[in-house]
Amino acid sequence: MNRIAVFASGNGSNFQAIADAIRNKSLDAAICLLVSDNPEAFAVERARKEDINTFIFQPKQYASKEEFEKEILDQLKLEQIELIVLAGYMRLIGTTLLKAYPRRIINIHPSLLPAFPGKDAIGQAISAGVKETGVTVHFVDEGMDTGTVIKQSSIPVFEGDTRESLQKRIQNNEHQLYPSVLQKLLDSRIEK
């Protein structure tokens, strides 16, 4: 069984899509840990409903990123985590985790990277007036959404789209794309 940890800071809809894919047997993995930097994140509630261990921390209670990442790393080792899956985790990953999990940390981002990295990619796309945006699954490196792209999926931006309407289409796409890319990665069909 492939043991994964999901990192989330908010609603956790991608966490839920992954958990559902595991339940439906379309993803051969087990979420063994949810890591969150936000005790109020709905992702934490989702993990509890799924009976998944959680590690919740508040970064301001640590002297440095290195300090809280060492504590996260201890939790990952305890759970024998093989792959880290970022799903709406709103922090850059530091060298402590990057060194421990080289090319074994992935992220999903709501744009066709390198376009619209960072926060509010959907708002950025609407403001820019693009006709197409999408979803990118990529390996995580030390930069902001700069890691090697694993897979992308295009989504049209329609005239009159609001942030909410576009976000809904993007999230529907994410919920299909992320579990399938995860399975391919775990099957080693994608070069690690």
Residue bearing tokens 């995860």: 182
CA 184 to CA 58: how far, in whole Å?
33
Whether a cis peptide bond, with omega within 30° of 0, leads into 114 is yes
- Please tell me which residue in 104, 109, 169, 175 is annotated as part of the active site: 109
Which tokens belong to 64?
């440095």
CA 138 to CA 130: how far, in whole Å?
22
Q: Is 138 a catalytic residue?
A: no
Q: How far is Cα of residue 66 from the mean position of the Cα atoms in its chain? A: 20
Catalytic (active-site) positions: 109
